[in-house]
Structure 1
Amino acid sequence: MSTDTPPLVQNASKILAEFASQLQYEDIPLEVVERMKMCMLDSIGCCLHGVTLPWTKLVEDMAMGEGATPVASIFGTSHKTSVGNAALVNGTAGHAFEFDDMHKESILHPGSIAIPVLIALVEKLGKVTGKDFLTAMVSGYEIGARVGNAASIQLFFDGFHPQGTSGVFVGAAAAGRMLNFSPTVMLDCLGIAGSQAGGLMAAQEGAMVKRFHSGRAAQSGIYSAFLAQKGLTGISNVLEAGYGGYLSTYSSSPKPDRLLSGLGEVWESGQVGFKPYACVTSIHSSLDALLAIMKSNQLKPDDIVRIDVGLSPMTFTHCAWEYKAQGVTAAQMNLYFNMASVAFDGVLFTEQYSSEKLADPKLQSFMQKVHAYVDADIESMGVAYRHASRVKVTTNKGEVFLQEILDRRGSPENPLSKHDIQFKFRNVVSGILGESQINQMIQLVDRMEELTDLAPIIALLTSK
């Protein structure tokens, strides 16, 4: 290829920049507004819990050690640092425990990028309305998801972590809209962001750095916006350039038509789902299928001699690798560990990833009963069903039980309710916020569009 290689699609970066910069609150469907409020509450909970974890603390220590001008807060603390560093730490926190929201097609967790970016900017700017916040949030979700859709699942198969790669566009578009960029400046903002994309999928097998990919995407969004604001120019055809563009570089089989398909009519931000388990989204259907079989047939772990798990090719590659006790990340990303853990405990939250559990001989033994394979029927359904699962349990009495789940619980097709998200939030931040603070946060976020100032939310996020 060379620099004169034709673009994958004409003017996509320019059109998306215009959309992101010109989006108004009144343009957003009510159901998308409601979804964004659920995403905001869910993301705040993930960030507040994540900032307490050791890998986030390492990033916080580095950021605070730089002695940057204290403008924006590190959630759950009284510490302040620069806008970019706050987004780095809080973005890492949002993705720190595999509990953040999920857009299936793009394989993105946009909330753990957009919320840290926007809260940091609110602290810099001062008074911001709830409507303006939600509008910027939708801009980030829409642009990031469309970029991820266009990169396709192949980006993952090529070894890149979508959160750190496509995720930069979530942060950049959200920041640019919050700063009221013109289409020209927004285009520079996106064009700068594309050069900062990065994140390798090998991080899922034990490295703490996987969480950091989200923080860097958030920080890169801030840097892109601030640099564009100062006049630094970005790649004007960053997404569609035939040589050296985002899609042509990061994905060996992109779908460039997904960048603009249904823009302004089909809302990708309305297709975001939520996680009921603190582990990789791809295996949630398998976990629910196993629990359904065990509950309906009153089975205990010792009653089971074999579990066959049919998966999509993506989920098999993503999660069905040999488990080794090498840290929380590896446990949360691994099918075998989580199937064993949920069989014994029935839930997957913080306690299931303690250091004692990661190498528990009881779980190690149970994992030998789990056998994963690529299910041809699921594969034939296409990427829309990459989270689908077929589970077959064989008991020590020779009984065989089958359970198929095509749409995971928490997905838009099988959604969690507002009450479910509020229940999850209460549990995630228990011990971090007091009961009255939890109630206040739920009420404030639930009426975001009425708020003329986000100061009460900032106060709760930084109370200690």
Structure 2
Amino acid sequence: MPSPSVAERIAAFVAGTPEVPAADLDAIERSFLDTVGTMLAGRTSEHGRIMEAHAAREGGAGPCTIIGTGLRTGAPTAAMVNGTFGHSDDFDDMGGYGHPSVALVPAILAAAEYARRPIPGSALLLAYATGFELGVGLCQTGAYDQYDRCFHSTPVFGALAATCAAAKVLDLDETRTANALTLAASAAAGLGRSSGSMVKPLHAGHAAKAGVLAVLAARRGGAGSARAFEARGGFLEAFFGHRLVPIDRIIGELGNPYRAAKTIFLKRYPCCGSNHSALAGLAGLLEKHGLAADDIERVIVHEMAETSPVLRFPEPASGCEAKFSVHRMLGTLMVRGRVSVDDFTAEALADPAVAAAARKVRAEVLSRWDAAGADKRKGNPVTIHDHKGRIYRHFVPRKELPGGPFAPLSEVDLAAKFEGNARRSLAPEQAVTAGERWRALRECPDVAELIALVSR
């Protein structure tokens, strides 16, 4: 009798009924709240308007909600549109395998509405935990390097994570869950070079759609190659470049322990996470020493290894590019004291004061020789030289970033972030009520009640 395939072994984990620790459930609940907020904000972006128009053009009276609107459509389309909304401003969470929640949450919500029966909030949290485990295991334990392999980790692993989560919501058995995974393995994609363009938010939407579509097809008997992961030319070889991925260890570690609480970062700034260590370091120096842009002669960002392949727009020509410009982000912080969703409009990009401040930033990118031995995830120290010859230096390691596991957003800051994002699509009172209810997701008997609060 042949040994179980990788898909079958993953499916056995998905179909189980594990007990997820309270800390992980709370981290996931916070991510649900944060992600719904980024969907409501992202809907009003240029990307969001395009996707909403697409959903409206499709028409129909499907079971699933386009968040922030009165539109309803089929589950795959809703997952795609809501996922794109969520990543449009790059304000969604990060950690584990890029941006986990913008593939997971839209897929989970679409599956829950597609079920046409009450789905409690606790089931959504469990579905998220299940999908997240596979994504983080493949990416981190498998030592995937998205810059070396050129495929963006969010859609590559997000498609599989979304499949596991949607299968959990819809109670697929092990056989159908394994089949869904073999289908989704061929839908994993996303070119890394898309950073700084309108395609990157679509990566999240496509991953969410791929997961939902795979599950719905598997429910009706669809299946891919049984050994789509481990065989020659399969997922592992295609994306990792070899078949020596420690898949036994990856599967053995699923849920042992759960990793959401120690992995997920809720963003403080709406831009690429590779900017955040430098932003946090600069913010600390500006506040501590009372510095303004006019006081500063130059800012140096040190040890840029991981960041250099994506933060490649010193003079961004669009809001998309600005999110991947450490020069522009630090210049914005120097002039405005914050970085917000509104700092990426054409009007904001034309601000001469911010452009002048951005020209004061110098990024020291490590040579290939030095970068080979560097810790790509440690972050970037920042040095300020002021006009009086004084020098200030500060370093916020990536693991200590505000919003991360070691420095989580306070409940007040979490609520404020949600409300600020939600008000871009909802009335202020509705935004407050929605925030309070989504924060208590695990207590909700039917998520349809919460989805109604963030639609019109």
Would you call these one fold, judging by a TM-score over 0.5?
A: yes
Contact between 2:39 and 2:67, CA under 8 Å: does it hold in 1?
yes
CA distance in 1, matches of 2:316, 2:36: 29
**TM-score where L is the length of structure 1:** 0.90
Amino acid at match of 2:430: Q
CA distance in 2, matches of 1:439, 1:194: 39
Q: Which residue of 2 aligns with 1:146?
A: 137
CA distance in 2, matches of 1:151, 1:237: 18
Number of residue pairs matched?
Answer: 446
Quick one: structure 1 residues 378 and 290, their matched pair in 2 at CA, closer, same or farther if it must change by over 3 Å? farther
CA distance in 2, matches of 1:93, 1:208: 12
- Aligned match of 1:17 in 11, 16, 25? 11
Q: Does 1:159 align with 2:153?
A: no
Q: Which residue of 2 aligns with 1:287?
A: 279
Gap runs ≥5 in structure 1: 1-8
Amino acid at match of 1:155: Q
CA distance in 1, matches of 2:372, 2:404: 19
Gap runs ≥5 in structure 2: none
Q: Does 1:58 align with 2:60?
A: no
Contact between 2:162 and 2:212, CA under 8 Å: does it hold in 1?
yes
Q: Percent identity?
A: 27
Q: Which residue of 2 aligns with 1:238?
A: 228
1:232 shift after superposition: 1.2
CA distance in 1, matches of 2:51, 2:409: 32
Quick one: structure 1 residues 311 and 153, their matched pair in 2 at CA, closer, same or farther if it must change by over 3 Å? farther
Q: Which residue of 2 aligns with 1:459?
A: 452
Q: How does 1:290-305 map to 2 (within 5 A)?
A: 290-305=282-297
1:10 shift after superposition: 8.6
CA distance in 2, matches of 1:272, 1:322: 27
Q: Which residue of 1 aligns with 2:390?
A: 399
Q: Does 1:248 align with 2:219?
A: no
Quick one: structure 1 residues 236 and 322, their matched pair in 2 at CA, closer, same or farther if it must change by over 3 Å? same
- Aligned match of 1:339 in 306, 317, 330? 330
CA distance in 1, matches of 2:180, 2:152: 21
CA distance in 1, matches of 2:48, 2:189: 19
- Aligned match of 1:218 in 208, 211, 215? 208
- Aligned match of 1:422 in 385, 407, 415? 415
Contact between 1:130 and 1:454, CA under 8 Å: does it hold in 2?
yes
1:390 shift after superposition: 0.7
Q: In the TM superposition, what whole-angstrom CA distance separates every residue of 1:393-428 from its partner, at most 9, and x where no partner exists?
A: 111111111111113222213322333222211111
Quick one: structure 1 residues 431 and 48, their matched pair in 2 at CA, closer, same or farther if it must change by over 3 Å? closer
CA distance in 2, matches of 1:66, 1:460: 24
Q: In the TM superposition, what whole-angstrom CA distance separates every residue of 1:127-185 from its partner, at most 9, and x where no partner exists?
A: 11122121112112222222222553423332211222221012111111111111221
Amino acid at match of 1:222: V
1:256 shift after superposition: 3.0
Contact between 2:44 and 2:424, CA under 8 Å: does it hold in 1?
no
CA distance in 1, matches of 2:327, 2:413: 27
Q: Does 1:352 align with 2:352?
A: no
- Aligned match of 1:74 in 62, 66, 72? 66
- Aligned match of 1:46 in 34, 38, 51? 38
Q: Does 1:277 align with 2:269?
A: yes
**TM-score where L is the length of structure 2:** 0.91
Contact between 2:327 and 2:361, CA under 8 Å: does it hold in 1?
yes
1:57 shift after superposition: 1.7
Q: Does 1:371 align with 2:365?
A: no
How much is the aligned-residue C-alpha RMSD, in angstroms?
A: 2.3
CA distance in 1, matches of 2:371, 2:393: 15
Amino acid at match of 1:147: L
Q: How does 1:123-134 map to 2 (within 5 A)?
A: 123-125=113-115, 126-134=117-125
1:269 shift after superposition: 2.2
